Structure 1
Amino acid sequence: MTTIVNEENKINAENIFYKHLSMFTTGMSREDYANLFTEDAVQEYPYAPAPFSTKIEGRDAIASYIENVVKGATDWNFTDFEFSATSDPNVFFVEFNGSALVTSTGKTYDQIFIARITMNGDKISNFKEYWNPTWIIDAFV
């Protein structure tokens, strides 16, 4: 069975994703960030090295985790977004580049990200992000 991708769902997911990045770039409040997610949302980072978390459960825990990540660097910048729909109208992928200046080391963190975003209405229910762990260690350690 073929599922027709709903353009409205795709635009909604893109808008929510850009709001997600606002936590890094414009100082979005913790509460506003938490409200982007369902209560039982899960955020996953399968390649995260210790001491970084590989899985965070619940929107409040996600907001706390990201709040700490944001504090670890300044001058966050994200570019080159490429969104891809899937056969499931609630699941989208985005590939993008990001950079920041790491506060503790003074190093620049450059990364290529790929994220799978699962939506439940106008909220993120699962956010799974892939990135190169070597690059994060080089910048943050």
Structure 2
Amino acid sequence: MLRKALGNRLAPDAATFLDMVADNGVMEFPYSPPGLPSRLDGKAAIARHLEGLGDMIAFERMGEPTIYATTDPDVTIVEFEGFGRGVSTGESYDQRYISVVRTVAGRIVHYRDYWNPLVVLRALRGSAVVDALAGGAADHG
């Protein structure tokens, strides 16, 4: 999905997401709920996070990305969806993302990922927890 979205902004040898990230790359999650990181500094930290993510959410598929050009040729905005289930709860993980991605010399140096924390909490902790937090008015879709 990112290869399609970023195209020639990525080095041709960048086959996996970690290949796409610069050694000093940064990922930020501005809406991260308590207990999950809001910032990862460096490729090693990003790799550790991605390894742990597989134990939390079983991704089934990603939606088709919508790519938005910006006035900065090194910055791309990507809107997409991810679908899966919480590993421990079985709850659905139907998430919408907007990511702001900066590339330099064919690698991602900064990836800011915006997503709904209630969807994450539902997948990780269950609907009852989210409904209690949201006063029973949580969006289940």
TM-score normalized by structure 2?
Answer: 0.76
Counterpart AA for 1:126: H
Q: Does 1:12 align with 2:27?
A: no
Partner in structure 2 of residue 135 of structure 1: 119
Partner in structure 2 of residue 47 of structure 1: 31
Gaps of 5+ in 1: 1-8, 20-31
Counterpart AA for 1:83: I
Aligned residues with identical type, % of pairs: 28
Partner in structure 2 of residue 110 of structure 1: 94
Partner in structure 2 of residue 34 of structure 1: 18
* Distance change >3 Å, CA 98–CA 10, structure 1 → 2: closer
User: 1:10, 1:89 within 8 Å by CA — same for their partners in 2?
Assistant: no
Query: Aligned-pair RMSD on alpha carbons?
Result: 2.3
User: 1:14, 1:83 within 8 Å by CA — same for their partners in 2?
Assistant: no
Distance in structure 1 (CA, Å) of the matches to 2:19 and 2:109: 11
Counterpart AA for 1:77: R
Partner in structure 1 of residue 46 of structure 2: 62
Gaps of 5+ in 2: 126-141
User: 2:21, 2:109 within 8 Å by CA — same for their partners in 1?
Assistant: yes
How far residue 135 of structure 1 moved from its aligned partner, in angstroms, is: 1.3
How far residue 74 of structure 1 moved from its aligned partner, in angstroms, is: 2.1
How far residue 99 of structure 1 moved from its aligned partner, in angstroms, is: 0.9
Q: 3-state SS of the aligned residue for 1:12?
A: helix
Deviations 1:9-68 (A, max 9, x none): 95224899xx5xxxxxxxxxxxx5433211111000000001110000001111110111
Q: 3-state SS of the aligned residue for 1:114?
A: strand
Q: 3-state SS of the aligned residue for 1:138?
A: helix
Q: 3-state SS of the aligned residue for 1:80?
A: coil
TM-score normalized by structure 1?
Answer: 0.76
* Distance change >3 Å, CA 33–CA 50, structure 1 → 2: same
